Chain A
Amino acid sequence: MASHAIEVKNLYKIFGPNGGDYVDAVKRGLGKAELNEKHGHVLGLQDINISMPAGGVMVVMGLSGSGKSTLIRHINRLIDPTAGEVLYDGVDVCKMSDNDLREFRRHKTAMVFQKFALLPHRTVLDNTVYGLEIQGVGKAESEKRARGWIERVGLQGFENHYPNQLSGGMQQRVGLARALTNDADILLMDEAYSALDPLIRVDMQTVLLDLQKELKKTVVFITHDLDEALRLGDKIAILRDGRVVQQGTGQQIVLSPADDYITAFVKEVNRGRVINVETIMRPLTGNPEGLPLAMGMVLESAARAMTGAHVNAAHVVDENGRPIGALDLPTIISAMVTPTSHEDKRAA
Chain B
Amino acid sequence: MASICSVLPALLCKFPAIDDGTIRLARKTIDDGFKGFVRSYGDAIDTVVQPLQWFLNYLEGAFVASPWILVLIVMVAVVYYGSRNINITIGTALSMIAIGLVGLWNDTMITLAMVTVCTLISILIGIPIGILMARSDRVQAIVNPVLDVMQTMPSFVYLIPVVMIFGIGKVPGLIAVVIYAVPPMIRLTNLGIRLVDQEVLEAADAFGSSAWQKLKNVQMPLALPTIMAGINQTIMMSLAMVVVASMIGVGGLGKNVLQAIANQFFTVGFLNGFALVGIAIIFDRTSQAFGRRLQKHSEVIHG
Instruction: Report which A residues bind B (CB closer than 8 A).
Output: 76, 78, 101-107, 109-111, 113, 115, 117-123, 130-131, 133-135, 162, 164-168, 170, 182, 188
How far, in Å, is A305 (CB) from chain B's closest CB? 41
User: Is B72 part of the contact surface with A, judged by Cβ < 8 Å?
Assistant: no
Which B residues lie within 8 Å of A78 (CB)?
202, 205-206
A-B contact pairs, 27 of them (CB 8 A): A103-B208, A105-B207, A105-B208, A106-B208, A113-B199, A117-B197, A117-B200, A118-B203, A119-B217, A119-B221, A119-B222, A120-B200, A120-B222, A120-B297, A121-B221, A121-B222, A121-B297, A122-B297, A130-B207, A131-B207, A134-B207, A134-B209, A134-B213, A162-B298, A164-B299, A166-B302, A182-B207
Docked Cα-Cα span, A117 to B206, in Å, equals 11
The answer to whether B297 and A113 touch across the interface, beta carbons within 8 angstroms, is no
User: Is B303 part of the contact surface with A, judged by Cβ < 8 Å?
Assistant: yes
How far, in Å, is B146 (CB) from chain A's closest CB? 29
- B window 117-132: CB within 8 A of A: none
The answer to whether A115 and B199 touch across the interface, beta carbons within 8 angstroms, is yes
Residue of B nearest to A111 (CB): B206
The listed residue (B207, B299, B301) touching A111 by CB distance below 8 A is B207
Docked Cα-Cα span, A118 to B218, in Å, equals 10
Docked Cα-Cα span, A115 to B217, in Å, equals 19
The listed residue (A76, A103, A164) touching B206 by CB distance below 8 A is A76
Residue of A nearest to B210 (CB): A102
Residue of A nearest to B201 (CB): A117
Which B residues lie within 8 Å of A76 (CB)?
206
How far, in Å, is A6 (CB) from chain B's closest CB? 15
User: Is B300 part of the contact surface with A, judged by Cβ < 8 Å?
Assistant: yes
How far, in Å, is B210 (CB) from chain A's closest CB? 7
Docked Cα-Cα span, A167 to B300, in Å, equals 10
The answer to whether A113 and B208 touch across the interface, beta carbons within 8 angstroms, is no
* Chain B 179-216 interface 0/1 with A at a Cβ cutoff of 8 Å (1 = within): 00000000000000000010110110111111001000
Which A residues lie within 8 Å of B207 (CB)?
105-106, 110-111, 130-131, 134, 182
The answer to whether A167 and B298 touch (CB under 8 A), given A111-B207, A119-B218, is no
Which B residues lie within 8 Å of A131 (CB)?
207-208
The answer to whether A117 and B299 touch across the interface, beta carbons within 8 angstroms, is no
The answer to whether A119 and B200 touch (CB under 8 A), given A130-B217, A164-B298, A164-B299, is yes
Docked Cα-Cα span, A182 to B197, in Å, equals 22
The answer to whether A102 and B208 touch across the interface, beta carbons within 8 angstroms, is yes
The answer to whether A117 and B217 touch (CB under 8 A), given A105-B208, A166-B302, is no
Which A residues lie within 8 Å of B197 (CB)?
117
The listed residue (A118, A120, A122, A134) touching B208 by CB distance below 8 A is A134
The answer to whether B202 and A117 touch across the interface, beta carbons within 8 angstroms, is yes
How far, in Å, is B218 (CB) from chain A's closest CB? 7
How far, in Å, is B228 (CB) from chain A's closest CB? 13
